[in-house]
Amino acid sequence: MDGAQAVPHVAVDAQAIDCDFLAFSAHKMLGPTGVGVLYARRELLEEMEPFLSGGHMIREVRLEGASWNEVPWKFEAGTDNIGDVIAFGAALDYLTELGMGNVRAHEIEVTEYALRRMRQLEDVLMYGPLDVEQRAGVISFNFADIHPHDVGTVLDHEGVAIRAGHHCNMPLMRRYGVAGTCRASFYVYNTIDEADILVEALKKVRAIFKNDRR
Amino acid sequence: MTVDKEEFARQEAELDELYREIIIDHYRSPRNRGKLPSPTVSREGFNPLCGDEITLDLSVADGVIVDVRYDGQGCSISQSSASMLTDAVKGKELEEARSLFRRFQAMMVGSGVADPEELGDLEALSGVRKFPVRVKCATLAWHTLDEALESLLQGKS
């Protein structure tokens, strides 16, 4: 199961949902790039053969053959990405201390506020469910007559970082008949004030891209 | 969050330089948009990173670009640049058009050899230089033109 999007935002109990494998990435949850977690049920890991050979993963090596170390070392050959693993640990401790329930509650609060304010901008098209409980802390939107990359450039200059484009999902963009969308996302460090700044920046986009034909 | 006032003003000015009225005007009211029924040459340009597309049709007689159309989709910079290109090259000789491409290119990379005055309306796109990731948008139609000219000039010799 790909948990890269969910694990940073909601409490996930891998054993309770009884999944075989669960992967998630540090860079989406306050940690560094280049490190992540693969959770797997122990009995599966014990059955599996190593995929990489190197230091740590062997128990004994003879000319005639070798035996493997125990889980998890069997799969952690060579020199680990030690610094990033330690940094990710600190990020996980921080999130655990905040409490994943509180992380989710904060996201809902900011997202709900931003949704409400953005819906008041009459020419901003919103995608996804309007019920904030039914969505993550991301808001995809478009101006019907302005390319997402132009929106992104203006917002960037107003100090607002969003993502614009096809979001690794070209088939969905084709289904909506759009070149791409703009996507604002919120996490523990975003505030209600920043949602206001986003809305003001969107007004600036419209001010630059006046549409006299309406 | 504190924002340095001077820095903020500088960024606002950059934004105004990027999205000048003439650029928005070409984006909203494209010139020479569409396809020619029987072009002498037709070339497609594509920027896979951002999805911008341009098709450029040229009709050439006696070494002169007598008609030109563009079609495509993408951001305001790529589409307005294409629209301005069509205005700029119509009626020009092939070598003149190529020389214009080179001067435009020089302006976009900021090499200083371009005199903005002689580029006319195209000078409006000089503000894109401050936005390195958007330069490709502005030059897409021009590289497409260069390919079309190349094929015409090759074919002639």
Rounded-to-integer distance, Cα A157 and Cα B122, Å? 23
Shared-domain flag, residues A92 and A119: no
User: Where do we find the tokens 């062997």?
Assistant: A58
Shared-domain flag, residues A72 and A29: yes
Shared-domain flag, residues A128 and A148: yes
Residue B116 DSSP label: G
A-chain CB neighbours of B50 within 8 Å are: 149, 165
pLDDT at residue A84, rounded to an integer:
98
Structure tokens at B133: 């990731």
Cross-chain CB nearest to A150 (options B11, B14, B75): B75
A-chain CB neighbours of B28 within 8 Å are: 211-213
How crowded is residue A208: how many other Cβ atoms within 10 Å of its Cβ? 19
Establish if A47 touches chain B: CB-CB under 8 angstroms: no
Shared-domain flag, residues A41 and A67: yes
How crowded is residue B100: how many other Cβ atoms within 10 Å of its Cβ? 20
Number of compact structural domains in chain B:
1
Cross-chain CB nearest to A153 (options B3, B74, B131): B131
Cross-chain CB nearest to B24 (options A153, A180, A209): A209
Instruction: Return left, alpha or beta for A143; rule: phi > 0 is left, psi -120 to 50 is alpha, else beta.
Output: beta
Number of compact structural domains in chain A:
2
Q: pLDDT tens digits, residue range A82-123?
A: 999 999 999 999 999 999 999 999 999 999 999 999 999 989
Question: What residue numbers bound the domain in which A69 lies?
Answer: 21-98
Residues of A belonging to the active site:
168
Per-residue pLDDT of chain B (157 residues; tens, 9 = 90+): 566 888 888 888 888 889 999 999 999 999 999 999 999 999 999 998 888 999 999 999 999 999 999 999 999 999 999 999 999 999 999 999 999 999 999 999 877 656 667 788 898 999 998 898 899 999 999 999 999 999 998 876 4
Cβ–Cβ below 8 Å for A150 and B77:
yes
Shared-domain flag, residues A107 and A200: yes
ipTM of predicted complex:
0.87
Give the phi and the psi of residue B6 in degrees, each rounded to 5: -65, -40
Q: B74 to each of B47, B60, B107, B136, B154, how far by Cα in Å?
A: 9, 27, 22, 12, 30
Per-residue pLDDT of chain A (214 residues; tens, 9 = 90+): 999 999 999 999 999 999 999 999 999 999 999 999 999 999 999 999 999 999 889 999 999 999 999 999 999 999 999 999 999 999 999 999 999 999 999 999 999 999 999 999 989 999 999 899 999 899 999 999 999 999 999 999 999 999 999 998 999 999 999 989 999 999 999 999 999 999 999 999 999 998 655 4
Shared-domain flag, residues A114 and A89: no
